[in-house]
Amino acid sequence: MATLKLLAISGSARNGSLNGRLLAAAAQAAASRGAQVETIDLRSLALPLYDGDLEKGAGVPEGAKRLRDALQAADGVLLATPEYNGFPTPLLVNSFDWLSRLQADGAAPAGLAVTAGKPLGLVSASPGLLGGLRSLNFTRQYLSMAIAMMPVPQQFALAKANEAFDEAGALKDPKHQAALEAVVGALVRVAAALKSPS
């Protein structure tokens, strides 16, 4: 079978982001299962705040097309979401809002065509006691209902994330690692099953 391809996305653009560190640990776990993991930096897409007038005048920005192409090439998605006042970051939501505006154009599919049924593994990290759980649940609802992705049932919210990693970026607590591995394992299994011919 061809190599499984996963796309890793962090909703945080901050240098040294805890979610970026958790995503890196998840990507390593996926790679250990034989998956090829590519990472896309949402900040590098340079997407303006969604505005219908802007879309009407200038069209959908190239950054949204880059996100579409990366998602189209992936068999599944690993996504880490921070929590800002109980919700995912504007960066994350705005990126997918722009993606949803892409219509089919020649050989290029519509934005939602590449996300429909796409397997998704969700994790979050926060210095707080809930580990970003509120944002995690909102992100699950948003990406499944509005963007038509297919989250696996397993998810992981890492509480006190500022104390959770060693100097090498690995999770100190074996229970945390096991919870992360459960999400990654479920994503790899589902994505591989959907990729395989029936």
Rg (CA), the chain: 16
121: CB partners within 8 A, 6+ apart:
26, 76, 77, 78, 79, 151, 152, 154, 155, 183, 184, 186, 187
Residue 185: what residue type?
Answer: G
Tell me the mean pLDDT per 10 residues along the chain, length 198: 93 94 98 98 98 97 98 98 95 98 94 98 97 97 98 98 96 98 98 83
Strand extents, DSSP E, the chain:
5-10, 36-40, 76-80, 119-125, 150-158
pLDDT of residue 196: 72
Question: 168 vs 25, 28, 155, 164, 172, CA distance in Å?
Answer: 10, 12, 23, 11, 10
**Cα–Cα dist 93/115, whole Å:** 14
DSSP 8-state symbol, 71: H
Length of the chain: 198
Angle between helices 90-100 and 133-145 (to 10 degrees): 0
Cβ-contact 164, 171 below 8 angstroms: yes
Class level of CATH domain 5-195: alpha beta
So what's the pLDDT on residue 87?
Answer: 95
Q: What pLDDT, on a 0 to 100 scale, did the predictor assign at position 1?
A: 62
Residue 66 neighbours by CB distance under 10 Å = 16
Count CA within 13 A, CB hemisphere, residue 95.
27
